[in-house]
């Protein structure tokens, strides 16, 4: 796992507390690259899906 992915996980935990991957996925499978953005999608404590994004080069 890259440093940016780890920092995105830390940010998600800081913002939402307990997080977990969406159904049928692992944390490692919860990252998607779209053009110049890295998306991290996960469920929060209430099972609401959230996304954090970062611009990457």
Domain spans in the chain, listed from the N-terminal domain onward: 3-55
Residue 57 banded pLDDT, cuts 50, 70, 90: confident
Cβ neighbours around 6 below 10 Å, total: 10
Token reading at 50: 């959230």
Start-to-end Cα distance in the chain: 17
DSSP H stretches of helix in the chain:
3-16
| 2-53 per-position pLDDT tens digit | 999 999 999 999 999 999 999 999 999 999 999 999 999 999 999 999 999 9
Encode burial over 12-25: b for 16+ CB neighbours within 10 A, e otherwise: beeebeebeeeeee
């Amino acid at each position: 796992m890259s440093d940016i992915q780890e920092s995105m996980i830390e940010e998600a935990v800081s913002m939402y507390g307990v997080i977990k991957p969406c159904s049928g996925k692992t944390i490692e499978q919860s990252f998607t690259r779209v053009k110049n953005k890295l998306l991290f999608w996960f469920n929060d404590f209430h099972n609401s899906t959230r996304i954090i994004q970062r611009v990457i080069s």
